[in-house]
Structure 1
Amino acid sequence: MRVITSYWICVGATLAFLSVLFGAAGAHWLEALKDLDLKNTYETAVRFQMFHSLSLMIIGLIINLKLAPGKLLIFSPFCIFLGTIIFCGSLYIISLSSLKWFGAVAPVGAGFLLTGWLMLGFSILTDKMHEHTAE
């Protein structure tokens, strides 16, 4: 198994662990919180973090399957990781503090997430195109 594969699986597993921890803690800590919007914001962060944690582990496995993974495939998990940290982090901060201006940071994280997903999709698509032209 390649080092980069192990790395993304470990990063994804760590983020998934934290997602479960934050979800469980939030279920207890946010119980007293009266603002339903803040609870929903926190739960959205937990959900997005878990989805993207799992995706990082899967991308790590995909990289391992490729004999020569392209740059798009190699860099897509970096974007997804940064996007997860920035997007979910800003949602956690918004829901747990009075720093509501952090809402302006969330779209930056979303942009990284979207870029990472596009890079992954294009890497698979271009890989398939190269397979067909090689035949």
Structure 2
Amino acid sequence: MHAAPDREARLVLGFGALLAATGVAMAALGSHAFADILVGKAALRFDSALRLHLMHAPALLALGATRGLARTRWWQAAAIAIALGCIVFCGGLYLAALDVSAVVLAVVPAGGSLMMLGWVTALVGYVRGPAS
């Protein structure tokens, strides 16, 4: 019998589920509502955002489900960095692709860096294992 996930794990699981739902919505919007405006670079940006958006949904679900396998502070830092990174990276690319604002492209690399940092942080937390 597994213990019920704690509040932090439930938040990460919930955010993973939210990413999945919004990812499906963005895929539908991209192929229907935005189909005429997503050409060239805009289509590439939207596709990159969508790919990472949808990849991080099950990844965050896995992170939330494995809460007890990593050191708490490392796990918390990883979850925050990955979630924020996904919002900044994917959100920035979506906005740029839809020509809402090209200025946001300046923060997209920071979002990608946050996601990478988050996964490296998760790696360290899992390798170190839970606190004894």
- Output aligned runs, 1:36-115, within 5 Å: 36-63=40-67, 65-66=68-69, 69-115=71-117
Q: What do you get for the CA RMSD once the two structures are aligned?
A: 2.0
Deviates more, 1:81-90 or 1:46-55: 46-55
TM-score, normalization by structure 2: 0.87
Distance 1:95 1:69, change over 3 A: same
Tell me, in whole angstroms, the C-alpha distance in 2 between the residues paired with 1:18 and 1:98: 19
Deviates more, 1:119-128 or 1:10-19: 119-128
Q: Is residue 30–residue 39 contact of structure 1 (8 Å, CA) maintained in 2?
A: no
What runs of 5+ residues in structure 1 fail to find an aligned partner? none
Q: Which residue of 2 aligns with 1:28?
A: 32
What runs of 5+ residues in structure 2 fail to find an aligned partner? none
Deviates more, 1:39-48 or 1:77-86: 39-48
Q: Which residue of 2 aligns with 1:19?
A: 23
How far residue 55 of structure 1 moved from its aligned partner, in angstroms, is 1.1
SS of equivalent residue, structure 1 residue 30: coil
Q: Percent identity?
A: 23
How far residue 36 of structure 1 moved from its aligned partner, in angstroms, is 2.0
Greater RCO, 1 or 2 (C-alpha within 8 Å, sep 6+): 2
TM-score, normalization by structure 1: 0.86
Distance 1:3 1:98, change over 3 A: closer
Which amino acid in 1 is paired with 2:92?
Answer: S
How far residue 35 of structure 1 moved from its aligned partner, in angstroms, is 2.6
Tell me the matched-pair count: 128
